[in-house]
Amino acid sequence: MALNIELLRSSFKAVSHKAERLIERFYEILFERYPDVQPLFATARMEEQRKMLLRSIALIVRKVDDTEYLVPYLQGLGKTHVAYGTKPEHYDAVGECLIAALSETAGELWTKEMEETWVEAYGVIKTTMIEGANY
Ligand code: HEM
């Protein structure tokens, strides 16, 4: 089935007024569930990092139907992540925690269809970033 782009966008829009909370919760959940990942961010300026992640996710959602733009963007991002110490297995942890943070932030607005749409979209993001990383 094709990715439900409308639902991806509308669900992200539904949390946009709480975007800072979303990203804050994402890192809290990630470091709580996967403490081994935290050292990768040891030298990161987390304030800046939260902003960059948010901007990046917003860009991906905006450009999700523009393959020509998105594929090289995600491949490049995957490549830079190798230097950050990111391993292929980290991608599932990040996806799980990102979707958990989205669901928590959206609250009762969150639906099973939204969950499925994000799982599907993240799968494509992950595959493309890992492809660019060339492990
Ligand atoms: C949807 C997937 C992801 C997106 C959109 C994303 C986005 C970003 C962005 C935009 C940056 C800022 C620097 C740059 O542009 O290269 C960054 C940095 C970083 N990301 Fe990700 N990332 C993702 C997945 C991951 C995963 C799976 C890990 C592994 C735990 C990770 C760990 C890091 C680290 C360690 C940094 C550098 C922090 C620093 O020291 O400044 N990211 N990420």
Q: From CA 63, how far away is CA 90, in angstroms rounded?
A: 24
Taking the CA of residue 110 as centre, how many other CA atoms within 13 Å lie in the half-sphere pointing to its CB? 13
Report the pLDDT averaged over residues 87-101: 98
Q: What percent of the chain has pLDDT over 70?
A: 99
Q: What is the pLDDT of residues 12-51, one digit of tens each?
A: 999 999 999 999 999 999 999 999 999 999 999 999 999 9
Closest CA to 12 of 64, 49, 52: 64
Looking at residue 47, its pLDDT comes to 97
The yes-or-no verdict on residue 1 having pLDDT over 70 is: no
Q: Which protein residues are within 6 Å of ligand 1, measured from CB?
A: 37, 40-41, 43-44, 49, 52-53, 56-57, 77, 80-81, 84, 86, 90-91, 94, 125
For residue 126 the two structure tokens come to 């992950």
Pick the CATH number of 16-133 from 1.10.490.10, 1.10.3720.10, 3.40.50.11540, 3.40.50.2020: 1.10.490.10
Domain ranges within the chain, ordered by starting residue = 16-133
The yes-or-no verdict on residue 5 having pLDDT over 90 is: yes
Looking at residue 59, its pLDDT comes to 98
Burial 82-107 (b: 16+ CB within 10 A, else e): eeeebeeebbebbbbbbbbbbbebbe
What pTM was computed for the model? 0.97
Q: From CA 98, how far away is CA 90, in angstroms rounded?
A: 12
Q: DSSP letter string over 19-41? A: HHHHHHHHHHHHHHH-GGGGGGG
